[in-house]
Amino acid sequence: MNDAATATLTDLYQLTMLQGYLEQGMTAPAVFEFFVRRLPPQRNFLVAAGLEQVLDYLESLCFTPEELDWIGRCGRFSRAFVDYLAEFRFTGSVHAMAEGTVFFPDEPILRVTAPLPEAQLVETRVINLLHFQTLIASKAARCVLAAPGRSLVDFGLRRAHGAEAGLYAARAAYLAGFAATATVAAGIRFGIPVSGTMAHSFIQAHADEETAFEHFARAQPEHAVLLLDTYDTEAAARKVVRLAARLRAAGIHVRGVRLDSGDLAAHARAVRAILDAGGLREVEIFASGNLDEHALAALVAAGAPIDGFGIGTRLDTSADAPYLDCAYKLEEYDGHARRKRSEGKATLPGRKQVFRRTDADGILTGDILALEEADVPGRALLAPCLADGRRLQPSPPLTAIRAHTARELARLPPALRTLEPAAPYPVTIDPGLLDLVRRLDEAGP
């Protein structure tokens, strides 16, 4: 994304504040942390995602001549400020949780330490990148947990909120355990397996359905998944049986069929029976159409003979919770901890670390949110990943992130793995951090 890397993917006030900071010489180190304030009611945990794109952004961030020209002409900024922006690079450091790590409210998943203007300018895009992929990975993880052993495919590009949303949703869903995406550009860009079936229009463009099936199967002799519900689902399944017998001699094998409307469990049972009776036991049944984790769980619970699911709109828009209440907040400036006390939006000050404990089986038992230097039991989740504006090591391959996510989901307490709202996972605030809050509140603003 060329445009997506531009430094002007930011709010005007970031530039306004930068000019103010620079006029006052306020360029000492600042510490900002990104965290989620509270879970949507429909989520028991979140899955961190988007770090690779944040690091790409920070490493490449600069203003183009066209952007500098616009900023210079807009009537709000000095020549000296535009000259400063012309040389702007991100020179700070980042600590973060590995992508695919599960996390909970108040826990920072990313910390930026940089000269104040640099740490400030990046706020908007850092939130934009972390928020969306975390949102989708967390929704996708619920789908994965709801349909164990089934193959899940992202079908959502068309109703994702723009191109970047479609691409990053494919990445986030794969990272969370989806098998594939239908989005070709995501396959090219991220190496995600791509998968697809056929649309109703292919059937409708033909004078009759069986001819359409045959043409499609001949064009995809090993991959064809035939869509059954354009006119009459069970009648279409019988056509597939007749067709498969004819095509077998030509070395053409129908791989599967897709159901996209009506009572999916009932259609799947009827179609399975027709296929099996026709000797097509190896032909798989895929289902799609307004699916989400609840629909998946219901179909699995009903014993519907469905091998794979295409999940689109409700995944790519995270339809039941289309945003997270998240923030990127100043926690320290020039060596002094800072705390915002706005009603309902107060922050925990200082550079923080998340310490996680597990039981003998590796199941998570509780986190402690503490100041970075605190001596607290548990595994520290935030690790350095960028310093002096450069990555400390390459980002892990997406397949490695996906494997990490699978291990993380396996270690969730059982109550958090269900779709039902569970009692909150225990996140304790360390007494040292509470002391700092008290001292800052006593000192006043």
Nearer residue to a second copy within complex by CB, 375 or 442: 442
x-or-dash string of contact with a second copy, 7-46, rule CB under 8 A: -xxxxxxxxxx-xxx-xx-x---x-x--------------
Q: Residues in the chain, how many?
A: 445
The 249-278 contact track toward a second copy, x by CB under 8 A, reads: -----------xxx----------------
Nearest distance from residue 387's CB to a second copy, in Å?
22
Residue 3 vs 388, nearer CB to a second copy: 3
| DSSP result, 279-290 | T-TT-EEEE-SS
Return the number of the residue (95 or 314) whose C-beta is nearest a second copy: 314
Both tokens of 167, joined, read: 């691409």
Q: For residues 20 and 421, which CB has a smaller minimum distance to a second copy in the complex?
A: 20
Q: Can residue 184 be called a binding residue for a second copy (CB under 8 A)?
A: yes
Q: How far is CA 363 from CA 357, 358, 407, in A?
A: 8, 5, 10
Instruction: Restricting to residues 415-444, name those near a second copy by CB under 8 A.
Output: 444
> Pattern of binders to a second copy over 351-390, x per CB under 8 A?
----------------------------------------
Give dist(CA 222, CA 219) in Å, integer: 9
Q: Is 196 in the site for a second copy (CB under 8 A)?
A: yes
Binder among 60, 201, 399, 428 for a second copy (CB under 8 A): 201
Rounded-to-integer distance, Cα 36 and Cα 39, Å:
7
Does residue 88 touch a second copy according to CB under 8 A? Answer: no
- Confirm if 386 and 56 have CB atoms less than 8 A apart: no
Please tell me whether residue 297 binds a second copy under the rule CB under 8 A.
no
Segment interacting with a second copy, rule: CB under 8 A, options 242-250, 278-286, 300-308, 310-318: 310-318
Q: Taking phi first (over 0 means left), then psi (-120 to 50 degrees means alpha), and beta for anything else, what does residue 290 get?
A: left
| Binding map of a second copy across residues 316-345, x = CB under 8 A, - = no contact | -xxx--xxx-x--xx--x----xxxxxxxx
Residues in CB range of 207: below 8 A, 6 or more apart: none
Amino acid at 264: L
b/e burial code for range 310-342 (CB count within 10 A of at least 16 → b): bbbbbbbbbeebeebebbbbbbbbeeebbbeee
**Looking at 46, 82, 96, 127, which residue binds a second copy (CB under 8 A)?**
127
